[in-house]
Chain A
């Protein structure tokens, strides 16, 4: 144990060091793209530039990373970004100069001014449109989250080892640790959340068995908190919840808390797990290893997954998983995939800053790359969580089972983010199947729930339609072709073709997953499919 302890401490400190080094340039996945016309009257197709200066106001919160302007200039013009002049890249098209400016911003707000050069009156701007790309949310967990978690856990884990034999003491320590972190980052949220959890435990374990009204009351509480904090309250309370200016406007791990709470409430309604103590319940909901990014454990698994003793093998296994996770996150996801695709001069900015997204192999590379990035990034968090959990004496469930080799869309969803799809199957799909006796409706609803769980936007709705349709169609095809076996095709070839089809389909959905503006996402989606015909 002593040598295992030293190894894990070194690994956690190395991980924390990586996190610190990456803070200045932490990659983010989820971009919002806006396109529009600001500062100009929509009805005005062109205007003399010398009549007045034109200012494109970049709103607070917009353009935190990059903004792009695409405009057509008759004649010559000068561009200013606040006090800085910018050389646009222009290409002459007859009398027209088609110009594109890409501006990289920090957190400060920039306005873009366009003046006439030499004050020539004949200079006009036409079709002034612009797009703003903004990074709006972090990937599954930010480096800041992980930095806090890992450095804190480096201190907590040795203490937990000492206290592990005393189940009650060690679980209270988990609760106090997690509550402390949440309170430090988001005090208001932590008070409301813990109050809600304690109340729901009191009601749920005593009164909810078989009583629909109480179950719905508890559901309503969970859903209200989720909607208020995650969607409505984001802007309202965000300013109070960011004491360290770390950009943490969303309550840490909110979705994960409530999804576990709902799962437990359904169990209580069925009369299961009613003997769980408040200590065990809170430590399950706020288990530090799975706090920022899952996996979503079940209460029964959490209770049975606690080992009486943390063995040397547990520690070695845990450390190995953490190292695998760090390798996937830092080397594969961030450096090999993210930077070429999403870095400041990456493919994403090149494509998304165009006003017209045109089909081409770059689109295929972007979306397939996006799928691979999310897989390596997210599964890395799961590896780290599973590893940390094991070091703390708990068996955290697996979350990914090589979804990149899935041979059908249903098979894909059995392998991808398994703990979330399992939750949806238990709490949405199965009850709806009982109610409707229809496969397609629950399948769509599950995908809708997964989509809305990520973000309450039209793009994620389209993502849900994309995946729900595939699942429903596959169900129908399997129903019609039951017992049919394709002859004369080598199984390996068949498998390879099916794996390819699944990757192509799932990657298409990433058009909606990474761009919030539904019209831009749809452009990208259609361009992706067109691109295959151009190959």
Chain B
């Protein structure tokens, strides 16, 4: 799975699961803007695991490294 298809799947999940705007761009800040809060992270982590088989170790990444769809796609692509 390439970075582009990861990007599209993550974007669709965020719109569907959290009701984010349809025009959510790859550079929109998710956590630092308050669009998502830290409690929403759990759903996101479970999604990464189920959809891409990717999980992180506790201090491997921080929320600031998962702050946009592009950053998430890059982190997941880097793990695969």
Contact = CB atoms under 8 A, between A and B. Distances in A.
Contact of A437 (B39, B45, B63): B45
B55 to A, nearest CB: 7
Contact of B45 (A212, A410, A429, A433): A433
Contact of A270 (B37, B41, B45, B62): B62
B57 A426 contact: no
Give the bracket for the number of chain B residues in contact with chain A. Answer: 10 to 19
Interface in B38-80: 38-39, 41-42, 45-46, 55-65
Main secondary structure of the interface of A (DSSP, over half): helix
A430 B34 contact: no
A512 B60 CA distance: 36
B39 A410 contact: yes
A437 B60 CA distance: 15
Contact of B34 (A212, A269, A414): A414
Contacts of A414: 34, 37
A429 B37 CA distance: 12
Nearest to B49: A437
A414 B31 CA distance: 11
Interface string A396-435: 0000000000000010001000000000011001111111
Nearest to A411: B37
Interface string B10-44: 00000000000000000000000010011101100
A212 B60 CA distance: 10
Query: Top 4 A-B pairs ranked by shortest CB distance?
Result: A431-B58, A425-B38, A434-B58, A435-B58
Interface of A: 212, 215, 266, 269-270, 410, 414, 425-426, 429-435, 437-439, 475, 478
Interface of B: 34, 37-39, 41-42, 45-46, 55-65
18 contacts: A212-B59, A215-B59, A269-B59, A270-B59, A270-B62, A410-B37, A410-B39, A414-B37, A425-B38, A426-B62, A426-B63, A430-B38, A432-B58, A433-B42, A434-B55, A435-B58, A437-B42, A475-B39
Given A270-B60, A438-B42, A478-B39, 8 more contacts: A266-B62, A270-B65, A426-B62, A430-B63, A431-B58, A431-B59, A433-B41, A434-B60
